[in-house]
Homo-oligomer: A and B are copies of this chain.
Amino acid sequence: MAKFMDVHSGFHGVTPAELDAAHEADLKIEGEEGVHFERAWLDPEQGKVFCLSTGPSKEAVQRVHEKAGHPVTEIYELTAEA
């Protein structure tokens, strides 16, 4: 399993409740792709959402986000952490 950070842009003004709903939508279907979304963080002023996940591939992470209705194009494989 690899670890990933994906970054969504343009989410200005998103509320905490909307973030929760989006994260729940991911959690509901992530098992189909062997992915787990550990955490999501929101900066509504700059419109960014960061999602930390584990999974078999970037493509699997992308498929979950796409099926959940919030596709992402910016995704990073995290090979080290400190």
Q: Is A66 an interface residue (CB 8 A)?
A: no
Complex partner residue of A78 from B41, B77, B78, B80, CB under 8 angstroms: B41
Complex partner residue of A43 from B20, B42, B48, B77, CB under 8 angstroms: B77
Contact with B along A31-71 (1 / 0, CB 8 A): 00000000111111110101010000000000000000000
A5 B50 Cβ-Cβ under 8 A: yes
A40 B82 Cβ-Cβ under 8 A: yes
A76 B43 Cβ-Cβ under 8 A: yes
A80 B16 Cβ-Cβ under 8 A: yes
B44 A80 Cβ-Cβ under 8 A: yes
CB-nearest residue of chain B to A27: B82
